[in-house]
């Protein structure tokens, strides 16, 4: 069983955390830190699995990971999983992300955390591999996106109205949008 | 595409803000501001629409990801579940599965939402619900929704996308409430999923069945043949369309199927096994094929399947050819450029090394493995190499492998040193042909990695030296030399102190290691050592006084020094004080008795193995079945044998203190540190007092304690002879027939009574000691003696009694006896104590007689005579003619015979006076039938008694016993 799937960057900042066994929030953060400490010391030439840290269950568990550019993808698994199999699964996950985001980079994961979760969900469910066939995974994701577009078409009016309004107001500096919290949206709705 | 959509600009802006934060504080501030904002939005009067809720929930998820507590928003997430928009539902489920714990009050609402979605017509909604259960299922869900999921899974109309989710969902529910999902009808339908057309469904079903199999192996046995045929189809196919992963057909599913097959033994159906074997062979063959792609993913996937196939071959452990082939393939991987492969190959070889089929094939790679130990850059790979060397080590290779491991120890990572030390110590002990070598290895261990020596390691070496006469002198010499090194680890001092204290005399002939040199050498370390070591050293000094009376003066000076006598540590004070007194007061004979050489150690399981097992992984477990060989069997023939469990070696607690309950000493020191009885130092140091001084009550008086029995709760059981004054027990005969309870012994000081019960081959005796004197009985101690002849036939186990019986008090002692075979002598109970300054020792016979285990049995005359005639060998009969010691009353005699254990058979012998009986002596594992004829001759006042029995020797025993009481 896969106990957890973690993605964090070279500085240990989490980009995705998904635990398939319940841990308290506090514990989750500790596990992430511990895992990062274990992995960040390792050179790239060493092997891709190691015994899990004490927090997640010690030597009965293995951390299987891959390091891509700025990101670590780590799966914590128990002894029922094949290490090489999980390594390939990480590869499938990353390739799928790459297809969905067209050359995925850390920023994509940051800004589309929900999407990353949905993609993972197509591959791992309840700690078990659910699908490994990339074509099938992509079909599912695309289907989801179609639904999303449809729904945005129906209910996305306010959002689009807002963005339209923003583009009509040239003196509004977009990055400072957070300061504009007091704009009263209902007046736009009437448009 | 996600990147182009501007669906949640607010979220993007927030994230950008966070990323622009220069410091942790700034970030914290920004997050708190956002949290406050979201909170006010949620609490505000304005109704939020689905989009807004979605956006805020997403922000909360992000905040949570950054490691911040989010304690609200759950209600909004639950609201989203009820939305009819897929995206809103989706984010709601995501929030719940990432952030919500099932103790939350809202859980009922979640379950309701899941229920609704499960009954939805839209498959994507059903999938969301199933996924949610699979991720965060709870027992309540299993209860409320449990019936739905199997229906969805097995319905022919369900889409395969939904089926996949349903299978994993059911797996989760099964783990939560297994009893709900075990029934035959369901199992056959689930097994059938292995033949599903869609490989994704088969993959999930495989995980599900794997879990079910562990709970119910028999019912799911049918999955074996289906799994084999599925595997065979995958392995033989070259094109599985979408399920080809870098030219490998469905690697994950193959791995899963191979894992599933490992839940069962080798298929008994030969057709199935042939098919499986074919697949396994194909997989092995492909390993050496040229790669179809240069991509690492290709070889990875190929090897994932290969390793799992090898695991299955190891699991079956039956086909030598396949196992040897696997070994050779793995051996090839040892030189691979891929670290992962080297790691896994070492791991698999470790498993193969344990099997007889492949052991030799593994040995061929020893050289490479040793190289790996030397050159491998990755610590975890080196560790696997250590495991493998440990697993493949045998008698022939031991010296070389241990040598390599020792060399590795010098540069090994600190984190694995302790385990490595244990492994080396175990191998050296297990495969030692020459114990000098063993001593050298362990001393080397201490030299190289003194800090990582678990106490067990040095206890063990002292025990082995004590148990083996032939290496004692060598050990003393070696340790003496080791102590001369300029730097010397404290553990070396401990071993040195102990061994020189015991065997220093063996090297004292050489003037370079003469008595005073030894003492000075040891004492030069004294001030550098911890208190624990100082205790041992002090004990060594008193032992040296015994070994070398000529240096008594020097030692007394040290013992009597204020540094010791006024040390801040009470234990040091006490030892110094008491040893000084002992040295001054005791005669040399007495000293020699007190400080006699340690008796040999007995042992059940090596404490080292126990320690290693606790410390480390599965690999060890596979080795230890055969590990009770060699040294552990250095059996200890003579001397006291402690009964019932933990010897000194089984020390779990680090301090290893044997807690002997006893009163405080006269000196008024705390209960936990009486010298000579109860050392808080490591147990090996308990040595100072030998466990056989029952004959020295005066000495016991002096220390007010009993000799240390090795097991604190059990009395000593000694195999040996001791004289017993039979006149002390004039009434003992009464115990032979009938009586089980009564007074065993009585004088003006003590009354000893006994109560006994016998069931089957087990007997329980309760001995009561009553103090009749007006003064307390001190130093009360009991020892059981079994005649050497009976040692294998009778097992005794006695509970320890308190050291002190106050005036007028009575204390009980329970003794358990097990008859292994018919035994001849009565076990003896030695009791020693001192009363009013006088020592008393007495030896009593225990009413534990072989006939107590005899059970009467009935039979007819014909049966009796037939059996009687069959027992016609001379050794099977014993006859005795003897004079009656009591009135020859028929009923009385009959009562006696019955009380003895025979059933009197009526109407067998035509003469009314004659008496015939039959009985069975019940022993552990055997039963001995016995027949009796007793012919009284009243005029002559004589009896003729004949006993026949199937077991040699038994007739004599019974005749001798019974004749005493007639």
Helix/strand/coil (H/E/C) assignment for every residue in B889-914: CHHHHHHHHHHHCCEECCCCCCCCCC
Distance from CA of B40 to the nearest CA of A (A): 12
Distance from CA of B342 to the nearest CA of A (A): 9
List residues bridging with A124 in a β-sheet: A129
- Contact criterion met (CB < 8 Å) for A114 and B94: yes
pLDDT at B475: 92
As a whole-number percent, the residues of chain A with pLDDT over 70 amount to: 80
- As a whole number, mean pLDDT of residues B225-252 equals 88
pLDDT of B1 above 70: no
Q: How confident is the model at residue B603 (pLDDT cuts 50, 70, 90)?
A: low
Q: How confident is the model at residue B630 (pLDDT cuts 50, 70, 90)?
A: very low
Nearest chain A alpha carbon to B68: A25
pLDDT of B456 above 90: no
- Contact criterion met (CB < 8 Å) for B297 and A88: yes
Q: Among B37-41, B180-184, B884-888, name the one with the lowest average pLDDT.
A: B180-184
Inform me whether the C-beta atom of residue A44 falls under 8 Å from chain B C-beta atoms: no
pLDDT at B751: 85
Inform me whether the C-beta atom of residue A49 falls under 8 Å from chain B C-beta atoms: yes
- A 10 A CB-CB count for B632 gives 17
**Bigger pLDDT: A9 or B650?**
A9
Cβ-nearest to B16 among A125, A126, A175: A175
pLDDT of B307 above 90: yes
- Measured between alpha carbons, how far is B745 from B515 in angstroms, rounded to an integer? 50
pLDDT at A157: 54
- Measured between alpha carbons, how far is B780 from B413 in angstroms, rounded to an integer? 53
Q: Among B92-101, B228-237, B702-711, B739-748, name the one with the lowest average pLDDT.
A: B702-711
- Is this prediction's ipTM beyond 0.90? no
Q: How confident is the model at residue B537 (pLDDT cuts 50, 70, 90)?
A: very high
pLDDT of B206 above 90: yes
Distance from CA of B164 to the nearest CA of A (A): 7
User: Using CB atoms within 10 A of its CB, is residue B47 exposed (0-12), middle (13-18) or buried (19+)?
Assistant: exposed
List residues bridging with B810 in a β-sheet: B770
Cβ-nearest to B67 among A29, A45, A49: A29
Q: Which residues contact B680 (CB under 8 A, 6 or more apart)?
A: B535, B571, B655, B657, B672, B673
Distance from CA of A14 to the nearest CA of B (A): 7
Residues of A in contact with B287 (CB under 8 A): none
Residues of B in contact with A172 (CB under 8 A): none
Inform me whether the C-beta atom of residue B243 falls under 8 Å from chain A C-beta atoms: yes
Query: Quick one: CA dihedral B306, B311, B315, B317, positive or negative?
Result: positive
- As a whole number, mean pLDDT of residues B31-52 equals 84
Tokens of B673: 């540190």
Q: Is the pTM of this model over 0.80?
A: no
pLDDT at B103: 67
The DSSP secondary-structure symbol of B762 reads E
Q: How confident is the model at residue B7 (pLDDT cuts 50, 70, 90)?
A: low
- Contact criterion met (CB < 8 Å) for A49 and B378: no
Q: How do strand B777-786 and strand B716-719 relate by DSSP bridges?
A: parallel
Residue B836's region, left for phi above 0, alpha for psi from -120 to 50, else beta, is: left
Q: How confident is the model at residue A77 (pLDDT cuts 50, 70, 90)?
A: very high
Q: Which residues contact B760 (CB under 8 A, 6 or more apart)?
A: B853, B922
Cβ-nearest to A131 among B19, B102, B164: B164
- As a whole number, mean pLDDT of residues B296-310 equals 92
Inform me whether the C-beta atom of residue A112 falls under 8 Å from chain B C-beta atoms: yes
Give the burial string for B148-175 (b: 16+ CB within 10 Å, else e). bbbebbbeeebebbbbbbbbbbbbbbbb
Residues of A in contact with B303 (CB under 8 A): 84
pLDDT at A16: 92
Q: Which residues contact B749 (CB under 8 A, 6 or more apart)?
A: B771, B772, B773, B777, B835, B840
Assess contact for B431 and B395: CB atoms under 8 A: yes
pLDDT at B736: 79
- As a whole number, mean pLDDT of residues B578-603 equals 83
pLDDT at B207: 93
Inform me whether the C-beta atom of residue B120 falls under 8 Å from chain A C-beta atoms: no
pLDDT at A111: 87
Considering chain B, what is the average pLDDT of its residues?
A: 81
- Contact criterion met (CB < 8 Å) for A82 and B203: no
- Contact criterion met (CB < 8 Å) for B13 and A178: yes
Residues of A in contact with B14 (CB under 8 A): 178
Inform me whether the C-beta atom of residue B347 falls under 8 Å from chain A C-beta atoms: no
- A 10 A CB-CB count for A189 gives 11
Nearest chain A alpha carbon to B384: A50
Q: Among B539-543, B608-612, B619-623, name the one with the lowest average pLDDT.
A: B619-623
pLDDT of A177 above 70: no
- Measured between alpha carbons, how far is A47 from A66 in angstroms, rounded to an integer? 10
Assess contact for B797 and B815: CB atoms under 8 A: yes
pLDDT of B410 above 50: yes
Of B200-214, B809-823, B903-917, the range with the highest mean pLDDT is B200-214
Give the burial string for B454-491 (b: 16+ CB within 10 Å, else e). bbbbbbbbbbbbbbbeebbebbbbbbbebbeeeebbbb
- As a whole number, mean pLDDT of residues B565-594 equals 88
pLDDT of B679 above 60: no
pLDDT at A158: 53
Q: Which of A26, A126, A147 to mutate to test the interface with B (most CBs of B within 10 A)?
A: A126
pLDDT at B642: 34
Residues 58-87 of B with CB under 8 A from A: 58, 61-62, 64-67, 69, 85-87
pLDDT at B252: 92
Residues of A in contact with B256 (CB under 8 A): 129
The DSSP secondary-structure symbol of B759 reads E
pLDDT tens by residue, A86-133: 999 999 999 999 999 888 888 888 888 889 999 999 999 999 998 888
pLDDT at B285: 92
Distance from CA of A81 to the nearest CA of B (A): 8
pLDDT tens by residue, B168-194: 999 999 888 877 777 777 888 899 999
Q: How confident is the model at residue B689 (pLDDT cuts 50, 70, 90)?
A: very low
Say how far residue B286 (Cα) sits from the centre of its chain: 42
- Measured between alpha carbons, how far is B411 from B429 in angstroms, rounded to an integer? 23
Residues of B in contact with A45 (CB under 8 A): 339, 377-378
Q: Among A146-155, B139-148, B370-379, name the one with the lowest average pLDDT.
A: A146-155
Cβ-nearest to B255 among A85, A156, A181: A85
Considering chain A, what is the average pLDDT of its residues?
A: 80
Q: What's the angle, vertex CA B385, arms to CA B382 and CA B390, rounded to 5? A: 130
pLDDT tens by residue, A28-61: 889 999 999 989 888 888 889 888 777 777 777 8
- As a whole number, mean pLDDT of residues B214-227 equals 88
pLDDT at B100: 77
- As a whole number, mean pLDDT of residues B354-383 equals 87
CB pairs under 8 A between A and B: 209
Tokens of B549: 């009376």
Inform me whether the C-beta atom of residue A164 falls under 8 Å from chain B C-beta atoms: no
């Amino acid at each position: 069983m896969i106990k957890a799937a973690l993605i964090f960057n070279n500085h240990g900042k989490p980009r995705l955390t998904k635990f398939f066994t319940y841990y308290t929030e506090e514990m989750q953060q500790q596990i992430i830190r511990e895992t990062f400490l274990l992995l960040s010391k390792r050179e790239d030439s060493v092997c891709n699995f190691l015994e899990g840290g004490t927090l997640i269950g010690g030597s009965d568990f293995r951390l299987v990971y891959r390091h891509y550019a700025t990101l670590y993808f780590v799966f914590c698994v128990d002894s029922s999983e094949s290490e090489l199999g999980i390594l390939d699964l990480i590869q499938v996950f990353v390739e799928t992300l790459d297809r969905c985001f067209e050359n995925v980079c850390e920023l994509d994961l940051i800004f589309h955390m929900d999407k990353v979760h949905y993609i993972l969900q197509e591959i791992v469910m309840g700690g078990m591999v659910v699908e490994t066939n990339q074509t099938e995974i992509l079909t599912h994701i695309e289907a989801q996106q179609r639904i999303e577009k449809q729904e945005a078409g129906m209910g996305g009016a306010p959002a689009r109205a807002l963005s339209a309004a923003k583009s009509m107001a040239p003196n509004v500096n977009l990055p400072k949008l957070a300061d504009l919290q007091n704009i009263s949206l209902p007046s736009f709705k009437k448009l | 595409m996600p990147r182009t959509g501007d669906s949640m600009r607010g979220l993007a802006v927030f994230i950008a803000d966070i990323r622009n934060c220069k410091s942790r504080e700034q970030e914290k501030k920004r997050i708190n501001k956002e949290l406050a904002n979201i909170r006010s939005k949620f609490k505000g009067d304005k109704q939020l629409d689905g989009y807004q809720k979605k956006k805020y929930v997403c922000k909360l998820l992000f905040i949570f990801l950054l490691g911040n507590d989010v304690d609200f928003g759950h209600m909004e997430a639950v609201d989203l579940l009820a939305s009819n928009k897929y995206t809103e539902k989706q984010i709601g489920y995501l929030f719940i599965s990432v952030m919500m714990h099932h103790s939350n009050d809202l859980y009922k609402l979640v379950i309701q939402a899941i229920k609704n979605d499960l009954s939805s017509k839209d498959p994507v909604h059903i999938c969301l619900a199933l996924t949610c259960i699979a991720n965060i299922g709870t027992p309540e869900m299993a209860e409320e929704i449990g019936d739905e999921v199997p229906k969805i899974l097995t319905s022919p109309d369900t889409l395969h996308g939904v089926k996949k989710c349903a299978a994993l969902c059911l797996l989760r529910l099964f783990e939560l409430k297994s009893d709900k999902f075990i029934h035959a009808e369901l199992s056959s339908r689930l097994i059938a999923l292995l033949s599903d057309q869609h490989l994704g469904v088969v993959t999930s079903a495989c995980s599900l069945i794997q879990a079910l199999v562990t709970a119910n192996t028999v019912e799911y046995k049918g999955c074996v043949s289906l799994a084999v045929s599925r595997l065979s189809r995958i392995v033989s196919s070259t094109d599985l369309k979408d399920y080809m992963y870098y030219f490998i057909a469905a690697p994950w599913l193959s791995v899963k199927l191979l894992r599933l097959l490992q839940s069962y033994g080798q298929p008994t159906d030969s057709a199935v096994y042939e098919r499986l074997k074919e697949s396994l062979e194909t997989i092995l063959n492909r390993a050496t094929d040229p790669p179809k792609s240069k991509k690492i993913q290709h070889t990875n996937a190929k090897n994932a399947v290969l390793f799992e196939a090898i695991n299955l071959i190891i699991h079956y452990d039956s086909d030598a050819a396949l196992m040897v082939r696997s070994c050779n393939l793995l051996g090839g991987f040892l030189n691979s450029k891929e670290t992962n492969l080297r790691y896994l190959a070492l791991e698999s070889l470790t498993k193969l090394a344990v099997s007889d089929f492949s052991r030799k094939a593994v040995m061929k790679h020893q050289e490479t493995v040793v190289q790996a130990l030397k050159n491998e850059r990755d610590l975890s790979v080196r560790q696997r190499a250590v495991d493998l060397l440990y697993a493949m080590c045998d008698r022939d290779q031991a010296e070389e492998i241990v040598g390599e491991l020792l060399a590795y120890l010098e540069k090994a990572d600190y984190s694995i040193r302790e385990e490595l030390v244990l492994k080396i110590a175990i191998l050296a002990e297990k495969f030692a042909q020459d114990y000098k070598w063993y001593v050298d290895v362990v001393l080397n261990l201490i030299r190289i990695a003194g800090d990582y020596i678990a106490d067990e390691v040095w206890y063990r070496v002292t025990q082995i030296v004590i148990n083996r006469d032939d290496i004692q002198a060598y050990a003393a010499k070696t340790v003496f030399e080791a102590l001369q090194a300029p730097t010397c680890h404290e553990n070396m001092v401990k071993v040195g102190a102990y061994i020189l204290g015991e065997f220093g005399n063996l090297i004292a002939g050489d003037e370079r290691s003469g008595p005073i040199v030894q003492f000075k050498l040891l004492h030069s370390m004294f001030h550098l050592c911890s208190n624990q070591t100082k205790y041992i050293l002090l004990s060594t000094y008193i032992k040296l006084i015994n070994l070398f009376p000529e240096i008594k003066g020097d030692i007394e000076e040290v013992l009597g020094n204020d540094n010791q006598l006024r040390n801040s540590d009470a234990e040091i004070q006490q030892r110094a004080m008491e040893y000084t007194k002992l040295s001054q007061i005791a005669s040399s004979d007495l000293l020699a008795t007190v400080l006699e050489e340690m008796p040999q150690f007995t042992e059940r399981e090596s404490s080292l193995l126990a320690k290693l097992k606790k410390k480390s992984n599965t690999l060890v477990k596979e080795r230890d079945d055969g590990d009770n060989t060699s040294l552990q069997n250095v059996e200890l023939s003579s001397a006291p044998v402690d009964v019932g469990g933990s010897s000194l070696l089984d020390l779990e607690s680090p301090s290893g203190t044997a807690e002997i309950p006893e009163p405080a000493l006269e000196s008024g020191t705390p209960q936990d540190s009486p010298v000579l009885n109860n050392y808080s130092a490591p147990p090996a140091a308990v040595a100072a007092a030998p466990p056989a001084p029952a004959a020295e009550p005066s000495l016991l008086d002096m220390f007010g304690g009993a000799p240390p029995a090795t097991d604190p709760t059990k009395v000593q059981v000694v195999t040996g002879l001791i004289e017993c004054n039979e006149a002390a027990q004039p009434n003992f005969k009464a115990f032979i027939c009938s009586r089980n309870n009564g007074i065993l012994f009585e004088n003006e000081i003590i009354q000893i009574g006994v109560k006994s019960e016998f069931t089957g081959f087990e007997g329980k005796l309760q001995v009561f000691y009553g103090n009749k004197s007006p003064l307390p009985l001190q130093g009360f101690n009991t020892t059981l003696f079994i005649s050497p002849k009976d040692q294998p036939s009778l097992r005794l186990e006695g509970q320890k009694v308190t050291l002190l019986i106050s005036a007028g008090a009575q204390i009980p002692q329970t003794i358990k006896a097990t008859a292994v075979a018919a035994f001849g002598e009565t076990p003896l109970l030695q009791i020693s104590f001192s009363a009013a300054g006088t020592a008393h020792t007495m030896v009593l016979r225990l009413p534990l007689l072989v006939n107590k285990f005899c059970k009467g049995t009935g039979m007819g005359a014909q049966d009796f005579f037939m059996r009687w005639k069959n027992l016609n060998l001379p050794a099977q009969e014993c006859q005795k003619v003897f004079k009656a010691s009591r009135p020859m009353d028929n009923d009385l005699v009959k009562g006696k015979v019955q009380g003895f254990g025979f059933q009197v058979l009526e109407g067998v012998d035509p003469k009314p006076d004659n008496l015939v009986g039959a009985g069975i002596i019940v022993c552990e594992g055997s039963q001995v039938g016995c027949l009796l004829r007793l012919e009284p001759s009243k005029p002559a006042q004589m009896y003729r008694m004949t006993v026949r029995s199937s077991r040699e020797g038994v007739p004599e025993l019974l005749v001798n016993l019974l004749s005493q009481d007639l």
